[in-house]
Amino acid sequence: MGDSQPERANHLSGTTYRLLIRSIGTAGAGAVKVLRGLRPGSDLELAALLFRAPSVLLEGLDWNKGERLRDVLKQTGIDVELQPSNQTFQAGVGDWELALGVKDPGQLLAIIEETALLVGVDFEKAKALVLASPAVLMGRVSEATVAAVRARFEKLGCEVDASRTTQAVFDLVIETADPYTLRALELRLQELAAARSRLSPSQIMVTGLSAATTELLWAEVTRTSAKVRALNRDLQRFDVRLEQAPDTPEVRQWLTRAVGMPERVTQRALARMPFTLAENVPGKQMASLLQEAGTLDARASAVLLSLQTFSIDVAAGGDRAAARTWVQAIAGREVADQIATGKPVRVAGPMTKLHARWLQHELRHCGVTAQLEGR
C-alpha cells in the first residue's frame, strides 16, 4: 500500500504514529490472540481494547512499522487506523449492553455461528446465549461496538437491541421457596420503597429500578439462597395480542400498516379474536401497538417473553429420520430419541419461545407437525 503525499511528508519530518482500533469490525474475541503479540496485558484488558473502541493499541510508531502492523490487523477483520500521535480522538466508553431479536428461526444456525465467532465461545454456549430470553449478547461495550455488531447481525435478518445501562430501567425477578428468606427480602424492599408484586407464592418482581439500585439489590440477593434475574427494560421483547376490536375500515388499515397483515386476511382475522398481533417485538413497538389499538376502540395486551416458557407437542408422522440431526442439535439427544420413535410426544422443556419455535420450524421442514404450548 503506497504512502499518500501528506503521510510521506509527516514520516520524513519525524512524526510518530499510533495504531487506533476504531471498532471490532468483522473480527471476534479470537483476535485477542493477535493482540497478545503486540502489547502486554491480560486477555480481559486486550478484549476491552476491541470491544470498547475507539482505543489506542500502540503509540510512538514510525510510519513503516505502523503501516505493516495496520495491514496485519486489518486481515483479522479489526477496523484499525494508523494516525499521527498528535491527532485527537474520542475514546470509547463501555456503557452499552446488547441483545438479539431473532425474527426468522430459519436463520438461527447462522446467527449462532456468528455469535460464537464474535464472543469467542463454542457452539453450545453461543446457542444458549441466542436462545435465552432476552438474548443478551454482551455488556460493557462501546457505541462503536454497537454499530459494528448491528451491521453484522442485520445481514442475517436479526435485530440488535442496545441499551445504555447507566440510563436504563431494570426489573428484578426474585425466587425462593424459603419463607424466612422471602420475609427478609420483603422487609429490605420496604426499606428501599421499591415497587413490587408477587408473580407466585415464591416469586417477587421488583420494578422500576435504576442501574445503581439494581446492582445493590443484586449483590444483596445473591448472598442469600434466592435466585434472581435482572431484566433491562430496553432489551425486553413482547408478544402483543389483539383481544377485541371493531371490524371497521380503519382497524383493517391499521392491521395492514402496523403489522403487515395482508388486506384480504384482515376480515377473517377480526372474526377470530383473540389472536397474536405481533411476536417478539421490542418495548417501544409494543407500547405503540397498545396505544394505537386504544385509539381505534380496540383492546390489546402484551406478554413479556422473559417470563414465558413453552413445551412442544409433536404429532405422529413425518420424516423422523431426516429430522433427527436437527432435533439433537436443537434440543439434545434425549429429545431426539423420543421423537425418533414416530409416536406423538410432548417435549416438556421448559423452553424459551424462540427455542421452541426453532424446533417447530425444523420439524415442519421434515413434515412433522408440532404445536407450542405455554407452561
- Whether the CB-CB separation of 274 and 241 falls below 8 Å is answered with yes
CA–CA distance, 298 with 292 (Å, rounded to integer):
8
Architecture of the domain made up of 96-167: 2-Layer Sandwich (3.30)
User: What is the rounded distance in angstroms from the CA atom of residue 250 to the CA atom of residue 329?
Assistant: 45
Adjacent-strand bridge partners of 374: 310
Q: pLDDT at residue 12 above 60?
A: no
Residue-wise pLDDT tens digits, 193-239: 889 888 888 899 999 999 999 999 999 999 998 999 999 999 999 99
Give me the pLDDT at residue 232, please.
95
State yes or no: pLDDT of 290 exceeds 80.
yes
Read off the pLDDT of residues 80-134 as tens digits, 9 standing for 90 and up: 999 999 999 999 999 999 999 999 999 999 999 999 999 999 999 999 999 999 9
Residue 375's pLDDT is 80
Distance CA 279, CA 274 (A): 14
How far apart CA 311 and CA 330 sit, in angstroms, is 14
Place of cell 453450545: 124
pLDDT at residue 3 greater than cutoff 80: no
Report the candidate in 113, 125, 183, 190 with the shortest Cα–Cα distance to residue 155: 113
Output the CATH code of domain 237-306.
3.30.1390.10
Per-residue pLDDT at 6 exceeds 60: no
What integer is the mean pLDDT of 256-283? 94
Q: What is the pLDDT of residue 100?
A: 98
Write out the E strands in 142-201. Answer: 158-164, 170-175, 195-200
Confidence check: pLDDT of 15 > 90: no
pLDDT, tens digit, 9 for 90 and up, residues 39-82: 999 999 999 999 999 999 999 999 999 999 999 999 999 999 99
For residue 13, the model assigns a pLDDT of 59
Tell me which CATH code domain 310-374 carries. Answer: 3.30.1390
Give the global pTM.
Answer: 0.89
pLDDT at 302: 95
Residue 159 to residues 99, 217, 228, 261, 278, Cα–Cα distance (Å)? 9, 30, 27, 20, 15
Which CATH entry fits the domain spanning 5-84: 3.40.30.10, 3.40.50.2300, 3.30.1390.10, 3.30.70.360?
3.30.1390.10
Residue 4 or residue 280, greater confidence? 280
Q: Where are the domains of the chain?
A: 5-84, 96-167, 173-234, 237-306, 310-374
For 51, phi then psi, to 5°, come to: -90, -10
Fold identical between 5-84 and 96-167?
Answer: yes
In this structure, the number of other CB atoms found within 10 A of the CB of residue 200 comes to: 8
d(CA 200, CA 192): 21
Residue 5 binned pLDDT confidence (cut-offs 50, 70, 90)? very low
**What confidence tens digit (pLDDT) does each residue in 337-362 have?**
999 988 999 999 899 999 999 999 99
> For the chain, how many residues are written?
375
